[in-house]
Amino acid sequence: MTQKHVVITGANRGIGAALAEGYRDQGYQVTGTSRDGSTGARLDVTDPAAQAAFASEMAGRAVDLLICNAGIYADKGQSLSDGYPAEMWAQSFATNVTGVFLSVQAMLPHLQSAEGAKIAIISSQMASDELAPGGSYIYRASKAAALNLGRNLAVDLKGLGIAVGIYHPGWVRTDMGGGAAEIGVDQAAAGLIERFAALSLDSSGCFETWDGRAHPF
Ligand SMILES: NC(=O)c1ccc[n+]([C@@H]2O[C@H](COP(=O)([O-])OP(=O)(O)OC[C@H]3O[C@@H](n4cnc5c(N)ncnc54)[C@H](OP(=O)(O)O)[C@@H]3O)[C@@H](O)[C@H]2O)c1
């Protein structure tokens, strides 16, 4: 049996690094990308030229699972009266929304070469319209857009046999989540890996938590 190939964006630290380790432990081929090239595959998800170069590097290699994990939370603690500058909106959307779209677009031919390929988009509980406690406007809006992107890609890619799931990874102890967060990266990664295994064309378009609960939209 050929080894399954997983591509993970932002795999040099945090949840992405734990996912890469988890899949390697399970015998998968893993291509983890990083902006600094430290993981062996260099990719800034916001850069179309870098996406094209990465797709060329992957030439001839099928991708069974693409995990769009790279993300930023730039507006933590911003003030409504004088914070949330336009540049912060632009950079956050470039990473958390455009970056997801460009990654999917670049990897699409590679996903089509695999049998039963899947895409996992790491969004957040902060994407929810139903659970909207206020604040962090940029991050919330960008993660809501990533959720919307995943829901629409699920429809369009169903005919190609590619399932798309959108996930809240938990509140995780990383540089982004902080030291007071509820779970560690290994627990988050183990839960997510189970969710990605369960993803199918029947459940495509789902929005789920790392521990298998349907998330409110
Ligand atoms: N931690 C949480 O509690 C939590 C909760 C909900 C959702 N999430 C989501 O989970 C994902 C991973 O978060 P994390 O906690 O592991 O964050 P993290 O520790 O801050 O790591 C973020 C990763 O994304 C990469 N990245 C940022 N901008 C990028 C770009 N333009 N191109 C390529 N890679 C880029 C970073 O690379 P560099 O090292 O180069 O910066 C890093 O590898 C994110 O999408 C985040 O929004 C996290």
Ligand 1 mutation pick, 44, 66, 69, max ligand atoms within 8 A of CB: 69
- The pLDDT assigned to 59 comes to 95
- The pLDDT assigned to 120 comes to 99
- The whole-model pTM stands at 0.98
Ligand 1 site residues (CB inside 6 A) read: 9-10, 12-16, 34-36, 43-46, 69-73, 95, 99, 122, 124, 168-169, 171-172, 174-177, 181
- The pLDDT assigned to 1 comes to 57
How far, in Å, is the centroid of ligand 1 from the Cα of 33? 12
Ligand 1: nearest atom to the Cα of 126: 6
Q: Give the tens place of pLDDT for each residue, 123-140.
A: 999 999 999 999 999 999
Q: Give the tens place of pLDDT for each residue, 169-197.
A: 999 999 999 999 999 999 999 999 999 99
Q: Give the tens place of pLDDT for each residue, 18-49.
A: 999 999 999 999 999 999 999 999 999 999 99
Output the 3-class SS for the chain: CCCCEEEECCCCCHHHHHHHHHHHHCCCEEEEEECCCCCCEECCCCCHHHHHHHHHHCCCCCCCEEEECCCCCCCCCCCCCCCCCHHHHHHHHHHHHHHHHHHHHHHHHHHHCCCCCEEEEECCHHHCCCCCCCCCHHHHHHHHHHHHHHHHHHHHHHCCCCEEEEEECCCECCCCCCCCCCECHHHHHHHHHHHHHHCCCCCCCCEEECCCCECCC
